[in-house]
Structure 1
Amino acid sequence: MNRPASTLVLMVAVVALSSMLVGCGATLVPFTHELRSQQNLSVDDVQQLQFYVSHTVTLRREIALSSRQIEGGNLQLRSGKTLEEIVIEAETPGVATALSPAAITVSFEEGTALTFALHTGHGEPLTAPAPPSLGRFAEPPEAFPGERPLLDMPVVDESLIGNYWLETAVDTSTVKFQGKLWEAVEDSFMAHLMIDTEELEDVVESNTVLKGRRLSQRGTDTLSLPVIMF
């Protein structure tokens, strides 16, 4: 069956528009330690970057039946247990709130934050030094973990490599969030930080492009050559 010419034109226009919309989408790539080091990104540079999480992060914790203090998330009843669940969908945008040589803390909602850290070549997460016994979760919870000030730029260790993965306690699936301990489940272990390549290019360009100078602007910078008398 032959289609009217007007219908064919409309179909072509719709396909072309769809292609344009797809082409205009953000091109997300992993934010690696190599990228951070090669571009010599400062604290201000990192603060200007829009971060995204690569995979959906799902955090769960069991609620005591006698407790009714729920801070966000959804309550679910499974196998006789009451659970609180926090979900951060894939490609949710976030901003950096704290930096260290091997980790970046990102806030996806005001007042909250998650830490993404590098891994060693043996697949073990790099963690900040912690006191003995209860480890790094022994310190009192922060009232507003997502509002910590950005630190001075730490020394970047060029021997470190790879993506910034969702940080968990060593050899466990435990994540600290909102001052509480949660279990990271499902695709959470694949979650790492990503950025839009165009935004990174803008940041790098603002750091490297020089305006140049013309002869008329040379002024007193003209070299003074010594006069040799014979």
Structure 2
Amino acid sequence: MEKNEKQIQKEIASHVGRLLREAFGKGPQSIFVNISRPFIVIYLRNFLSPTEKILLQQDQVNSVQHTRDLVMKSLMPEIKAYLLLLAGMNIREFYYDWGFHNHSGMLVGIEAEDDSLGFRPQERYTGKEELHDEIDRISHQIQKKPDETYSYMINDRTLLVVRRGILISIGKELIRLGFEESLKLAERNLEKSYLINSSRFQEIIQSQILDVFVDWDFHEDKSVIVFILNPNPK
């Protein structure tokens, strides 16, 4: 019997949870999987090991970030293989980020499809143009305005933004010289602070923002931003 989407999402959540638990000694308390092809967004809540908690209390954020980067690089092939086997998703790009302040995390996979991002129509939603303008403004402050900005309302709680063409010459040279990790760390610190501290986003999309995640694929010169929303705040 063919599995339905809910069963597939449940099995992905269970498998990812087991992988993370084996790798870190403690897995997320809850995992939410949303498939909206060609995207898969996996949201992790209450994910922090006892060791990481101690390191964060000692302001060792970079150490925790570095360790997680190493672990995720080792887990990515297995996660991709599982998504292909279970959901038939051939993941070409994989992004991840952490919200250490509230023990959350985000994994995003994008299927290997057409080279352009025009493989899925962008639906309309409230404030879309204004949101793109604010994203472009923040990008310009850090590096440059993206060549292209796309966004997709995966569901009423998940807004995905994809940017292409954000690197300037100094960034490309740092990557060539082997400083990709340092560049990503600097980008993450700067850009996340801008994204989190901007009051404009909640006004624009008329929804409470619970979490903001961002990651980059410098070799593709692309970046993914995910807003986790609470559409009906009490």
Structure with the larger RCO, 1 or 2 (CA within 8 Å, 6+ apart): 1
TM-score by length of 2: 0.21
Larger fraction in helix? 2
TM-score by length of 1: 0.21
